[in-house]
A and B are shown apart, each in its own frame.
Chain A
Amino acid sequence: MTRETLDTIRNFSIVAHIDHGKSTLADRLIQLTGTVAERDMQEQMLDSMDIERERGITIKAQTVRLEYQAKDGKTYILNLMDTPGHVDFAYEVSRSLKACEGSLLVVDASQGVEAQTLANVYQALDADHEIVPVLNKVDLPAAEPERVKEQIEDVIGLDASDAVQISAKTGLNVDQVLEAIVQRLPPPKGDREAPLKAMLVDSWYDPYLGVIVLVRIMDGVLRKGMTIKMMGTDAEYEVDRVGVFRPKMQPLEALGPGEVGFITAAIKEVADTRVGDTITESKRPTSEMLPGFKPAQPVVFCGLFPVDAADFEDLRAAMGRLRLNDASFSYEMESSAALGFGFRCGFLGLLHLEIIQERLEREFNLDLISTAPSVVYKLNLRDGETIELHNPADMPDVMKIESIEEPWIRATILTPDEHLGAVLKLCQDRRGVQIDLNYVGKRAMVVYDLPLNEVVFDFYDRLKSISRGYASFDYQITDYREGDLVRMSILVNAEPVDALSMLVHRSRAEARGRVMCEKLKDLIPQHLFQIPIQAAIGGKIIARETIRALRKDVTAKCYGGDVSRKRKLLDKQKEGKKKMRQFGRVEIPQEAFIAALKMDS
């Protein structure tokens, strides 16, 4: 098999921390190569969802084909692959990176390297990328390009002497970025005559065209009309359309080796396409799949319930619609005594959870309550079986459990020195095990192993607050470890409240239980009788608060025969009671659940 070098193609991605200017640089590159007419330009061309634009994050991989006439006189095809930048999408990122030969490492010249930059650059290095450092925002007064170059060399071990110093905002030196792509990044290799071998990089749902599949051709040629086969699922499709993004879809007859583009093929759901899968021709299949393919694995679970029970069917429909476009999130029906009917949903991580929740609320106009996020526990039962636990409410009898394992992560945190003490304390408090601690210029870099279960509870918010927003954080899931985990239940007036039960480490149970009881004490209104609120492990009470009985609730005077006014007040009270969830004799307002589940500590 002869793999020719495809000299005039460059496939590259951009590695950057949020806010370091990835999208702006992409916009400039699109502009400078004349890919989009000036009048059609808008900001963050590649981020098509509102959420992506607003938050400056990329959720779906996107690509744009740029044609660039270089100083050597040749015209190059540059495929910019915009990858999701967040660890939740680490697998998607790794596949996108596999579709490229090089990366631009964009670092804000005033901020320096962030934790997320590190994680992504290591992934790029894992994908054998050639990397061109780019210092952005050098026009800002606070820019310290020399210091940041040093940092890149010290921390990442990359030679930054040739770093391109730009301002994506003003356009300064962006042309040098294009030259660097052509001269410093390697061209792809591929065999045009070999059987088709293409990587499914990502896919999404388009209401008009059905599922659009983003592909990178490794070997062979993908033609319109060809019958293809997804090797991971064995499904076959006839290709309707082939083309490239500029960044609008532009149809072509075929895509050759080294090229990046899209196909459509009457695929109904995104769930039918697996990121990282190998696409080949049915009648002349390639002999081997691309390495590294794995199905999406939810990591964090939580229950999503409509605030208004009448919205349940709407929520179901919305979930179905979202799932059309995002096969990595899973859902199944769940019913809770506290929250009614809803869904137990699995996500790739916390950001993913937040995004889905936000999209449901925003695009489908739903008010949702989410229960405390929980991780996937492995329960080793005494009968030898191992089961996965997604919902603390489903936990079997403790007598049947031999041991419980929980997922651990390796977290990298970069923080200004003055907050290091607080960051270390936070990590220690969350059962962290310190792996590394060193300095990157004026900033400390700490690496900790932490149980994911401790991180899904407001870890990130706490980190931001103790470091005044300066600490950055990234993580990857490493392994499962056995832990002394217990199910803590919350009892209100001796009735267990399912939505509030959680798995916690025994050493943390009392503190967490106390905080939960204190919160509920303030959230549940006084009743005509005293209400004990307890946190319990099995039959053992570990924390207790008491809501005193109502002492006075009477509007004394009644004017003339105006009972209408009192009746209206009563009607309001009755209406309010309907929105409450009944636990025994205690009525708990829905807001109490929302608040109790939100403010984790």
Chain B
Amino acid sequence: MYVHWPFCASKCPYCDFNSHVRREPPDEARFLAAFAAEIAHQGALAPGRTVGSVFFGGGTPSLMQPRTVGAILDAIGKAWSVAPDVEVTLEANPTSVDATRFAGYRAAGVERVSLGVQALNDPDLRALGRLHTAREALDAVAVAQAHFPRSSFDLIYARPAQTPAAWAAELRGAIDRAAEHLSLYQLTIEPDTWFEKLHRAGKLVVPTADEARALWDVTQEVCDAAGLTAYEISNHARPGAQSRHNLVYWRYGEYAGVGPGAHARLVTNEGRIALATERHPETWLALVERDGNATVSREVLSAESQGDEFLLMGLRLVEGVDPRTYEALSGRSLDPRRISALVGDGLIEPRPGGRLAVTQAGFPVLDAVVADLAA
């Protein structure tokens, strides 16, 4: 179950997610009612399931009142049964203000937080438009670890002018503070962001492909040495500490999604359907209040689309994919000549049990590998 909270205190210049800044705080009671309505709506579409994980993403869900989080969890419990070991994650900003609410989130049922630390030096944090300092972030990490049994934080690397040595040192410092899980994303220039404008104007110079590759390589070395190995292209965890919620996406499982701009994949008697909701928060709210849901796109996925989505998601995982699942979904098999060519190039490898996985050498060029296999 994915829940999207679309508001942020400020918009980061690299971010192209569905996040919005409002001068006045939103009316959480109205939003809560709307979330509950969408949850009930999707519950009716996919009845009888057991919820294994809930993920509050954003936006900045740590701007929500803890009681709103708790009420949303209650609504989920009304629509479906909930697994006893359900994983409930909430994304939070590592500021002292957000940290004051951590105890409340824990009490509401959140067991894992994911903190958007992004960098551990102040000049880079300012350049990334973050509102917190490195000190503040590390304090928030400590508070989080004190309150929640599980936690993770995100870092963005391949920043302008970042050297592999500087990044390795910063990353080692992060690993020392990270208990069990780290998400390490390379900075990408996304369309319609402030960074894109700067980049186009030549005022923001990002690492070249070779430099970005060197940074990726050093990331793997440092994490492997620290026992925080990658289980997904950008996610590292100690054994057993993987994000179960994200694994559902990557294993192409079934997931509901509510809130503005949320996505769902539900298996119904029509087949696997892809749902997307209205992105604009207030429009979303009005639609839900009028219709009981704000689904603006509903697509019964073709076999080919399902096969493609399966590969796009599954090949991000170190465990790889089972080609037989691909065959079942897409109704065709992967081209053995392409497989053997990619194996020959050292980019993918067969795994015991007939699985197929991208190698360490293949991950940095994953998009091209997927495009080649899916063609």
Contacts and interface: CB of A to CB of B under 8 A. Distances in A.
Contacts of B341: 585
Interface of B: 2, 4, 17-18, 55, 57, 185-186, 188, 209-210, 212-213, 216, 233-234, 249, 255, 257, 261-265, 274, 276, 299, 305, 308-309, 312-313, 316, 341-342, 345, 347, 363-372, 374-375
Contacts of A577: 371, 375
A567 B309 contact: yes
A528 B188 contact: no
Interface string A562-573: 111011001101
A528 B347 contact: yes
Given A528-B347, A557-B234, A561-B249, A551 B210 contact: yes
B234 A563 contact: no
Contacts of A554: 186, 233, 363-367
A557 B12 CA distance: 15
B234 A555 contact: no
A558 B316 contact: yes
Contacts of A573: 371, 375
A560 B316 contact: no
A552 B371 contact: no
B371 A557 contact: no
A561 B367 CA distance: 17
Given A552-B209, A552-B216, A563-B249, A557 B188 contact: yes
B212 A567 contact: no
Given A554-B365, A558-B316, A563-B313, A570 B188 contact: no
A551 B368 CA distance: 10
B364 A553 contact: yes
Q: Which secondary structure characterizes the binding site on chain A?
A: loop
A447 to B, nearest CB: 51
B263 A553 contact: no
Contacts of A562: 263, 276
Interface string A360-379: 00000000000000000000
B210 A560 contact: no
17 contacts: A550-B209, A551-B212, A551-B364, A552-B210, A552-B212, A554-B363, A555-B367, A558-B249, A560-B57, A560-B257, A561-B263, A561-B264, A563-B313, A564-B276, A564-B299, A570-B312, A574-B375
Interface of A: 527-529, 549-564, 566-567, 570-571, 573-574, 577, 585
Nearest to B316: A558
A566 B347 contact: no
The 10 closest A-B pairs by CB, nearest first: A551-B213, A556-B185, A552-B209, A554-B366, A573-B371, A553-B368, A562-B263, A561-B263, A552-B213, A556-B186
A585 B345 CA distance: 12
A571 B304 CA distance: 10
Contacts of A558: 249, 313, 316
A574 B374 contact: yes
A573 B372 CA distance: 9
Contacts of A559: 17-18, 57
B188 A555 contact: yes
A570 B308 contact: yes
A574 B375 CA distance: 6
B364 A563 contact: no
Contacts of B234: 556-557
A561 B249 CA distance: 6
Given A551-B209, A552-B216, A563 B312 contact: yes
Given A567-B312, A570-B308, A574-B374, A553 B276 contact: no
Given A561-B255, A570-B308, A556 B364 contact: no
